[in-house]
Amino acid sequence: MDSQNIKHRTRDTEEPDTTTKNGDMRTKRDNRMAMAKRGIRSLAIAVAFPLALTLFNIYFFGSSNGYGNVSKPFWFPPMWALHFTCLASSFLMGLSAWLVWAEGGFHKEPTTVSLYMAQLGLSLAWNPIVFRMGATWVGLVVCLAMFGALVGCSRQFKKVNPIAGDLVKPCLAWATVLAIVNLKLVFL
């Protein structure tokens, strides 16, 4: 082997590229670490905020004696399963919204954030309407509107980040099950 044609890779030495407010120099690696910490913090907020709202909603409005006392078909989910799946849906929507936000999708398409906020508001409104007020017809309308908002979110999110669009699909399935349960509650 001809050793004269061999090229060695050299490591780039980390050179300071910015100066902080205090005047000390930061390396590129430090900047990447700071960005990663901000990303993790924003992810935690994006997921924790809808989860906290959903937990608050479940705690104050999620239980009713009417749902437990009504004779239901065998396939009706128990109350704990309804609440758990609402939490899972809230988690997935928060994660997918963060993925869209990280790609800059909320700035590029302003309707995307409107659809997400509509879906979040409708999902939070469904529990008190159906379980506290007992307005199952209104709950059905809210559930169908939530399904429409989820379809819009899925389409808009997929334009920005395909993974975020795919994360909305289980939420669509859950909204369908919720609409079927709500429809059956209307006729009980």
- What is the per-residue pLDDT for 72? 73
Look up tokens 């908002």; give the residue. Answer: 149
pLDDT along the chain (188 residues), means of 10: 61 52 61 73 92 93 66 81 93 95 88 94 93 90 96 95 95 94 86
- What is the per-residue pLDDT for 68? 61
Best CA proximity match to 83, nearest among 179, 174, 168, 170: 174
Give dist(CA 121, CA 134) in Å, integer: 18
CB count, 10 Å around CB of 186?
Answer: 13
Specify the 3-state DSSP secondary structure of 10.
Answer: coil
Q: Is the pTM of this model over 0.85?
A: no
What lies within 8 Å, CB to CB, of 81 at 6+ separation is none
Give dist(CA 37, CA 42) in Å, integer: 9
